């Protein structure tokens, strides 16, 4: 079984701070991590390989330093990894990212299952997974919380999954190949052993640029290929009404004054 | 992967294509040839078909800069579950109405499903000028491919300028698939939509970078301009049963055997944590210090009949389940009263609650950003203030 996992290196957004004076992001010292949702995708890929054999290939697109994210998932157990890195990819929005990842997946050969995290914690869009599936012309099932069964015969095979949707839990079946995006209920990602971390650090991970992706058209890559444009970045606005800070001698007095005001404003 | 297209009208059932297919991807079904998913688009069958009934599918990307002026009107996808429209859909219709009026254009609602004719009339009542209605057994339960195929076909034919989709779990996948296929821009989870007064473009504002900044995004060169918006971000409009408008029936595009997904079962689960509909929410953040710290938050919530919310920091720390999370990656809420206890107020949190009617902030740090959006603030230790509030509310609400 050929399994592809798409991962993203993201800044640990829980650590991102805002400069209170300038209102800009303070990026210095913010650690880079593998997008947490992608770790569930990697774990699920490794579980599938254990059951069905085959190969797990991790792919990421990013700057050269994103190779460290790939080393991390190789240490978890991925067999192969590919870094997509090229100045031509810079500034990609979700459309151009899907296009580029799909081209790389095609280059790796026939695939049975593609796994992605449900979204990345920096962009929070959840758009790249379904976008890849459309580019490849394959089916997609999002928000998968459990894989119930995989049957490889008769070809092309089927997969049955449970999905967490707004109203409850759906059980659905798809023909293979399929792209799944996974939620964190699906498993508990393994920790890499020290020996595997060392092995991953020594592994040669190929970097593919635009020239290594057959059939891609440069007009669909990077900023040029991205339909969206970020035109403004701002700190979030405050509300029109200024806050009234309640000052009192004791917590009970402060609480009492607040309750008075809420009752007077008919909030309760 | 994508497969060749067989014109069932033209096919004479000679079987020549079946014999020549190297991948066993073609077979006869009655007197027409059908293709399965083994097709690799090798094109061997194209040459042998005597009546030219086989063609390659349209390329996924139909590239080229569109003629922007040809795209007009605002569209909304009206999501329904078991024949009931989802709340976010009417919020989108309300917002679509506002944008259409600003742009001097019409609002179209797209209703897909099976036996969903009543939803089309509701869509008009809530503000649509026109409804496209696709009603077919293959659309009874939402599946991305058949839904996307209908909507992509309608967009290519009628060319809307703006297309809004509710950011439900289905809506996100649907919008992504449509935008990918049409080659156009899609902005997820917008918290603000406006028409740029100079260019007429849709200004789409959303929190980014874990919600720490607000980005405004345009899609200047491609159409339609697509955006998703979460439930509770916009006010639902009032329905006017007296409104009228044309309901245009459109066909489904795929047969059941062309759809790779089968839905086997659905178990409706009601979360015990109903943040979206709560009138009052009491939320705890990093300041509560640990799972036990939520005790005082729960007591206050009990006294008020309120729901318990939490910041992402508290959820990520494992102090309280994800169901409780308010913010960009959790629930968006707009209760009458939101009491934030020990929550500093990252943009990611503010994005999910700043449209609450009245906001109370309780925090040790007088510089906490949450005070900037609050109506009332108390600077102090939440473990003293919150129990005091519980006592006061119990006394006052009893009397």
Q: Is A76 in the same domain as A22?
A: yes
* Domain interval for residue B50: 5-55
Phi and psi at residue A137, in whole multiples of 5°?
70, 30
Question: Helix (H) and strand (E) counts for chain A?
Answer: 6, 15
Q: What is the mean pLDDT of chain A?
A: 91
ipTM of the complex as predicted: 0.91
In chain A, pLDDT over 90 holds for what percent of residues? Answer: 77
CB contact under 8 A, A244 and B376: yes
pTM exceeds cut of 0.90: no
Give which of B62, B176, B278 to mutate to test A binding, by max A Cβ within 10 Å: B176
| Residue B263 is assigned to a structural domain of this protein | no
Q: Is B12 in the same domain as B144?
A: no
What total of structural domains would you count in chain A? 2
Q: Is A176 in the same domain as A259?
A: no
Q: Is B223 in the same domain as B328?
A: no
Q: Is B241 in the same domain as B284?
A: no
* Domain interval for residue A58: 2-220
Q: Is B78 in the same domain as B51?
A: no
Q: Is B233 in the same domain as B198?
A: yes
Q: Is B295 in the same domain as B183?
A: no
A-B contacts (CB, under 8 Å): 271
Considering only CA atoms, which of A51, A109, A60 is closest in space to residue A81?
A60
Give which of B388, B393, B396 to mutate to test A binding, by max A Cβ within 10 Å: B388
Q: Is B50 in the same domain as B72?
A: no
Q: Min CA distance, B243 vs chain A (Å)?
A: 30
Give which of A227, A257, A263 to mutate to test B binding, by max B Cβ within 10 Å: A227
Q: Residue B100 has which token pair? A: 């259409």
| Residue B165 is assigned to a structural domain of this protein | yes
Q: Min CA distance, B373 vs chain A (Å)?
A: 5
Helix A36-52 / helix A67-76 crossing angle, nearest 10 deg:
40
Secondary structure letter of residue A40 according to DSSP = H
| Residue B221 is assigned to a structural domain of this protein | yes
Could you list the pLDDT tens digit for every one of the 399 residues in chain B? 467 889 988 999 999 999 888 777 899 988 899 988 767 666 678 878 889 899 877 654 555 567 888 999 999 999 999 999 999 999 999 999 999 999 999 999 999 999 999 999 999 999 999 999 999 999 999 999 999 999 999 999 999 999 999 999 999 999 999 999 999 999 999 989 999 999 999 999 998 766 667 889 999 999 999 999 988 889 899 999 999 999 999 999 999 999 999 999 999 987 667 787 889 999 999 999 999 999 999 999 999 989 999 999 999 899 999 889 998 778 888 899 999 999 998 878 988 898 889 999 999 999 998 998 899 999 999 999 999 999 999 988 776
Q: Min CA distance, B377 vs chain A (Å)?
A: 5
Q: What is the DSSP string of B306-363?
A: PEEEE-HHHHHTTSS-GGGBBSTTSB----SEEEEES----HHHHHHHTTSSEEEEEE
Q: Is B181 in the same domain as B78?
A: yes
Alpha-carbon torsion angle B110, B111, B113, B118, nearest 10: -170
Q: Is B42 in the same domain as B88?
A: no
Q: Is A70 in the same domain as A143?
A: yes
Looking at beta carbons, which residues of chain B come within 8 Å of A95? 179-180, 183-186
Q: Kindly state the helix (H) or strand (E) to which residue A260 belongs, with its residue range.
A: helix A251-264
CB contact under 8 A, B216 and A232: yes
Calpha distance B55→B83 (Å, rounded): 37
Q: Residue A220 has which token pair? A: 């669909």
How many CB atoms are located within 10 Å of the residue A84 CB? 23
- State how far the alpha carbon of B346 is from the alpha carbons of A15, A17, B163, B287, in Å: 11, 9, 30, 13
CB contact under 8 A, A255 and B391: yes
| Residue B271 is assigned to a structural domain of this protein | no
Name A50's Cβ contacts closer than 8 Å, sequence gap at least 6.
Answer: none
Q: Min CA distance, A204 vs chain B (Å)?
A: 31
Sheet bearing A139-151, strands edge to edge: A207-208, A80-84, A55-61, A2-7, A113-117, A178-182, A139-151, A158-165, A168-175, B261-268
Looking at beta carbons, which residues of chain A come within 8 Å of B385? 251, 254-255
| Residue A227 is assigned to a structural domain of this protein | no
Q: Is B308 in the same domain as B383?
A: yes
What total of structural domains would you count in chain B? 3
Classify B10 as helix, strand or coil. Answer: coil
Q: Can you give the CATH number for the domain in which A138 is found? A: 3.40.50.620
| Residue A121 is assigned to a structural domain of this protein | yes
Secondary structure letter of residue A109 according to DSSP = -
| Residue A225 is assigned to a structural domain of this protein | no
Q: Is A170 in the same domain as A268?
A: no
Q: Is B133 in the same domain as B183?
A: yes
Among the partner-chain residues B37, B184, B396, the one whose CB lies closest to the CB of A259 is B396
């Amino acid at each position: 079984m050929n399994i592809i996992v798409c991962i993203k290196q993201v800044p640990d957004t829980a650590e991102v701070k805002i400069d209170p004076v300038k209102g800009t992001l303070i990026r210095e010292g913010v650690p880079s991590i593998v997008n947490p949702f992608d770790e569930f995708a990697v774990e699920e890929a490794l579980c599938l390989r254990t059951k069905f054999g085959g190969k797990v290939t991790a792919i990421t697109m990013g700057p050269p330093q994103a190779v460290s994210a790939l080393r991390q998932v190789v240490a978890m157990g991925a067999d192969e990894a590919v870094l997509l890195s090229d100045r031509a990819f810079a500034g990609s929005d979700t459309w151009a990212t899907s296009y580029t990842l799909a081209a790389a997946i095609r280059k790796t050969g026939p695939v049975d299952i593609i796994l992605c995290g449900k979204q990345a914690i920096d962009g929070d869009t959840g758009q790249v997974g379904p976008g890849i599936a459309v580019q490849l012309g394959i089916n997609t099932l999002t928000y998968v919380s459990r894989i119930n069964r995989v049957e490889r015969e008769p070809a092309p095979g089927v997969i049955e999954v449970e999905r967490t949707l707004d109203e409850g839990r759906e059980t659905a079946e798809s023909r293979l190949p399929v792209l799944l995006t996974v939620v964190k209920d699906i498993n508990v990602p393994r920790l890499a052993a020290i020996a595997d971390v060392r092995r991953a650090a020594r592994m040669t991970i190929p970097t593919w640029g635009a020239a290594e992706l057959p059939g891609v058209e440069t007009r669909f890559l990077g900023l040029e290929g991205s339909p969206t444009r970020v035109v403004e970045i701002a700190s979030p606005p405050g509300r029109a009404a200024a806050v009234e800070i309640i000052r009192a001698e004791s917590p009970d007095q402060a609480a009492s004054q607040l309750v008075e005001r809420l009752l007077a404003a008919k909030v309760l | 992967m994508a497969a060749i297209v067989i014109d069932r009208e033209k096919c004479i059932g000679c079987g020549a294509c079946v014999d020549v297919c190297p991948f066993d991807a073609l077979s006869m079904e009655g007197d027409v040839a059908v293709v399965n998913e083994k097709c690799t688009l090798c094109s061997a069958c194209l040459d042998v078909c005597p009546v030219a009934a086989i063609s390659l599918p349209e390329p996924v990307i139909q590239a080229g800069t569109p003629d922007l002026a040809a795209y007009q009107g605002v569209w909304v996808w009206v999501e329904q579950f078991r024949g009931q429209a989802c709340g976010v859909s009417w919020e989108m219709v309300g917002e679509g109405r506002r944008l259409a009026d600003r742009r001097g254009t019409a609002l179209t609602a797209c209703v897909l499903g099976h036996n969903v004719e009543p939803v089309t009339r509701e869509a008009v009542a809530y503000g649509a000028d026109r409804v496209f209605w696709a009603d077919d057994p293959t659309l009874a339960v939402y599946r991305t491919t058949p839904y996307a195929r209908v909507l992509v076909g309608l967009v290519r034919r009628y060319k809307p300028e703006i297309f809004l989709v509710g950011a439900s779990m289905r809506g996100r996948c649907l919008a992504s698939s449509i935008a990918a296929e049409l080659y156009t821009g899609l902005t997820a989870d917008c918290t603000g939509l406006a028409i740029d007064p100079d260019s007429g473009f849709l200004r789409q504002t959303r929190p980014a970078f874990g919600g720490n900044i607000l980005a405004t995004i345009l899609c200047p060169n491609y159409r339609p301009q697509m955006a998703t918006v979460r439930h509770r971000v916009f006010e639902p409009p009032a329905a006017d049963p007296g409104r009228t408008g044309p309901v245009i029936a459109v066909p489904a595009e795929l047969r059941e055997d062309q759809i790779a997904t089968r839905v086997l079962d659905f178990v409706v689960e009601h979360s015990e944590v109903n943040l979206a509909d709560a009138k009052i929410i009491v939320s705890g953040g990093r300041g509560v210090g640990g799972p036990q710290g939520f005790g005082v938050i729960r007591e206050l919530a009990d006294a008020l009949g309120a729901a318990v919310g939490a910041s992402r920091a508290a959820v990520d720390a494992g102090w309280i389940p994800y169901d409780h999370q308010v913010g960009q990656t959790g629930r968006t809420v707009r209760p009458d009263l939101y009491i934030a206890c020990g929550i500093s107020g990252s943009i990611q949190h503010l994005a999910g609650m700043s449209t609450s009617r009245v906001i109370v902030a309780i925090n040790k740090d007088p510089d906490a950003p949450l005070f900037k959006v609050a109506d009332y603030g108390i600077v102090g230790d939440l473990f003293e203030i919150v129990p005091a509030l519980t006592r006061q509310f119990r006394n006052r609400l009893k009397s």
